[in-house]
Chain A
Amino acid sequence: MARRGRGGRWRRTAEVWCLLAPSLAIFLLYRILPLLWNGVLSFEDWSPLRPAHWIGLENYDEMLFDDGVFWQALWNTLIFMASAPIGIVIALALALLVNARIRGRDIYRTIIFLSYPLMTVAVAIIWRWMFDERVGLINYVARSLDLVDRPIQFLNSFNWALPSVIAANTWQMLGFYMIILLTGLQSIPGELHEAAAIDGATGSRRFWSITLPLLRPTLFLCFVIGMLNSFTSFDLVYVMTGGGPGRATELLITYIYKLGFSQTRFDYAAAVTVFFFVLLISVTWVANRLSGRDAGAMRLD
């Protein structure tokens, strides 16, 4: 019996590995190996036109102590990342609205969600035109209402460019946040609200004491996804502003692209990528800690 049991376990293990193997192979080939190669490259001097040679920490030294653009891009990335809660708050309000018993709520849900499946490049082009100073809708409305004398050059202004890009990013993510939050709202047992209402709790009291605490895991999920999305908002920024004016909207991800493919500095781009990766892992680790260390875990009962 014991032998058969051990044989069964082996067979099961073999089955699991067989099923996992294709995914693991792809993960290894397209994620782990490039990551390792990137790590090695960050310590080398290499371009497609010259052989690699080891230069130790030179790229990191340059990045940390001699490259103002890196720090500007890092700062912009952190601001971009910190903007995620704005979208979540708006999405929560919308989710509460379309969760209420109002006529046509399914239509509203669909309309709000529509922004998310759109291609990011299309979103960027739409918003670039929306912000345009000559034909943009926002300037047209602002001028029609006499809110401004001259058109605001949203994407050409050092002050407005980053908020404008953040606004476009927030708009695109709203639908996604809303659907996630809506699911969270609908998983809250109705009896809790009913009991609280019988006890005389006001709507706002119920929101703060029941809805919000029970939504915490969902809000957290939105927050993590929002932050990760901010890290990788390459296409939106690249199409809307290209990182400009100056470096006003330069993110680490756009800077890495420019270093690699405009300046052919793949070695230095690799060093910035390693930093970017460490930052990403750190943020995820902190987020996981805050969530009680079991984010994404599945309970097997």
Chain B
Amino acid sequence: MKRRALLKGSLAGAAALAMPYIARAQSGQKLSFLTWNIADQEKLFKEEFADFQKTHPGVEIEWLDKKGPDLPAFYQTQLVAGTAPDVVDLQGALWVEYAAGGALLDLSPYLAKEPEVAKLYNADYLASWRYDGKTYMLPFYIAKTLLFYNKAMFKEAGLEAPPASFDEILSFAQRMAKGEKTGFMTLNFDWLYWPLFKMNGVDLLTADMKKPAFNTPQAAEVLGKLAASTDKGAINKISWTGRWVEPNGAFAGNTVGMFHAHSSAYFFVKGQGAWINPDTLGITQLPGYWATPTNHGFGISKSSKNPDLAWAFIKHLTSNKWATEFALRRKLVTGTIVADQQSLETIGKEDPLGRAVLQTQLEHTDKFTGNWPLPFDAELKDAFYPEIQNAVLGRKTAAAALGDAERAVERVLRRHA
């Protein structure tokens, strides 16, 4: 009897101890969260998670960060395995492929149900995540291209104001090119060079996005001029071959007159170039105010078992409070209107130039280009850009390169017709 009583007592005790855990496991939910190359913000994320858990007790958040090139491959494999993270941070135009393929949840019903949420964000940036009439992402952090210029090199070349046209960009660049110095450089990934074409009236595709529209005499003239300027040393060749570190490093080296890049470049370059201050670095929009955005947004995987919770989570991450915190710590703009106003004010007190750079990211947001919502954007880029390289680096004439690019782009379009 004694032994039976002891056994019963032990079982009852164990059950009593286990009860809260069992109850929690039954009521608890788990959110998996995948970010793109932002592991440095671990402290902030942990604070954000803790804050979220206060209003959503029992929710477990599993955070995973992947380096730049690793994330797409990782997300793809997770999709195939049926274990895609609930919330994913996607950059550039990658989201379109996933949205078109049914991997991302349409957020439009949520935005329609809570109209005050959409009002939190810059409307133009939010609109850049629309595909087929539906919104798939909320802004995490945003950026678009602008023109940095080296005031000392401008002065040395007798230039007083930044260029006001494409031809002025090239002529100014030529005036500054001397010895090791070059006049102009651009970032080239993710269509960031496209404003140079757009400001000359060149479009990549027809309005219905079904045919190439770039093989025109005007485009050949633009490309020919870019090639000639590159050949003469006015445009730095790194423009067409470097990705991120090389062009930023070259501009930080104080030997490039103008640099067409997005706001993140400022903070990278400032860290390397001791010469950079408000007296030496000028910032302006490109002629015509054209700019290519390169944004990060939060989407929800369609396979999420807790879509409502995931929606609450991304609202939390992009709320005024946490977007402001993020903007201040990372020195960027988030697309959350109030957060950007508040953070710019604070950043401006210690870095007026940084504030001015970030301010450009919120202006002329109606002049985005190079951000076509195409599910096969990566394929198109890969078909088009090598031919541009062939032309600007002197391997083919502009006309021949555009002809070959047209054939390559037609092939991609045909496959996706």
A residues with a Cβ closer than 8 A to B are: 47-50, 66, 68-69, 134, 150-151, 153, 155-158, 242, 244-247, 258, 261-265
Residues of B within 8 A of A68 (CB): 408
Chain B window 393-413, contacts with chain A (Cβ cutoff 8 Å), 1 for yes, 0 for no:
101000000000000100100
Instruction: Specify which of A47, A68, A245 lies most central, judged by the most chain B CB atoms within 10 Å of its CB.
Output: A245
A47-B101 contact in complex given A134-B253, A158-B395, C-beta closer than 8 Å: yes
Chain B proximity of A260: nearest CB distance (Å):
8
* Bound CA–CA A151/B181 (angstroms): 12
Chain B proximity of A240: nearest CB distance (Å):
12
Contact status A134-B250, CB under 8 Å: yes
List which B99-145 residues lie within 8 A (CB) of chain A: 100-103
The 8 Å CB contact of A265, one of B238, B249, B379, B395, is B379
List which B254-289 residues lie within 8 A (CB) of chain A: none
Is B72 part of the contact surface with A, judged by Cβ < 8 Å? Answer: yes
Chain B proximity of A72: nearest CB distance (Å):
9
Contact status A134-B101, CB under 8 Å: no
22 contacts between A and B (CB under 8 A): A47-B101, A48-B77, A48-B80, A49-B79, A49-B97, A49-B102, A68-B408, A134-B250, A134-B253, A150-B180, A151-B180, A153-B241, A156-B242, A156-B393, A244-B386, A246-B387, A246-B395, A261-B69, A262-B378, A263-B376, A263-B382, A264-B72
A156-B101 contact in complex given A134-B250, A244-B389, A264-B378, C-beta closer than 8 Å: no
Contact status B76-A48, CB under 8 Å: yes
* Bound CA–CA A190/B240 (angstroms): 57
Chain B window 38-53, contacts with chain A (Cβ cutoff 8 Å), 1 for yes, 0 for no:
0000000000000000
Residues of A within 8 A of B77 (CB): 48
Chain A proximity of B227: nearest CB distance (Å):
13
Residues of B within 8 A of A158 (CB): 393, 395
Residues of B within 8 A of A246 (CB): 386-387, 389-390, 393, 395
* Bound CA–CA A250/B264 (angstroms): 29
B residues with a Cβ closer than 8 A to A are: 69, 72-73, 76-77, 79-80, 97-98, 100-103, 180, 237-238, 240-243, 249-250, 253, 376, 378-379, 382, 386-387, 389-390, 393, 395, 408, 411
* Bound CA–CA A247/B385 (angstroms): 10
Residues of B within 8 A of A244 (CB): 241, 386, 389
Contact status A156-B241, CB under 8 Å: yes
Contact status B73-A261, CB under 8 Å: yes
State the main secondary structure of chain B at its contact with A: helix
Q: Closest B residue to A159 by CB, please name it.
A: B395
* Bound CA–CA A69/B379 (angstroms): 13
A66-B411 contact in complex given A247-B386, A265-B379, C-beta closer than 8 Å: yes
The 8 Å CB contact of A153, one of B76, B100, B237, is B237
Contact status A242-B243, CB under 8 Å: yes
* Bound CA–CA A150/B73 (angstroms): 40
Q: Closest B residue to A149 by CB, please name it.
A: B179
State the main secondary structure of chain A at its contact with B: loop
The 8 Å CB contact of B101, one of A50, A66, A69, is A50
* Bound CA–CA A144/B289 (angstroms): 44
Q: Closest B residue to A151 by CB, please name it.
A: B180
Q: Closest B residue to A47 by CB, please name it.
A: B101
* Bound CA–CA A55/B242 (angstroms): 38
A264-B249 contact in complex given A48-B79, A158-B395, C-beta closer than 8 Å: no
Residues of A within 8 A of B378 (CB): 262-264
Contact status A155-B379, CB under 8 Å: no
Known: A246-B389, A262-B382. 19 other contacts (CB 8 A): A48-B79, A48-B101, A48-B103, A49-B79, A49-B97, A49-B98, A49-B101, A49-B102, A49-B103, A68-B408, A69-B386, A134-B250, A151-B180, A155-B241, A158-B393, A244-B389, A246-B395, A263-B378, A263-B382
* Bound CA–CA A219/B77 (angstroms): 42
Contact status B379-A263, CB under 8 Å: yes
Contact status B72-A262, CB under 8 Å: yes
Chain A proximity of B281: nearest CB distance (Å):
19
* Bound CA–CA A246/B253 (angstroms): 26
* Bound CA–CA A153/B79 (angstroms): 41
Residues of B within 8 A of A50 (CB): 101
Residues of B within 8 A of A157 (CB): 393
* Bound CA–CA A83/B339 (angstroms): 57
Residues of A within 8 A of B408 (CB): 68
Chain B proximity of A134: nearest CB distance (Å):
6
Residues of B within 8 A of A66 (CB): 411
Q: Closest B residue to A268 by CB, please name it.
A: B415
* Bound CA–CA A14/B371 (angstroms): 63
Contact status B72-A261, CB under 8 Å: yes
Residues of A within 8 A of B376 (CB): 263
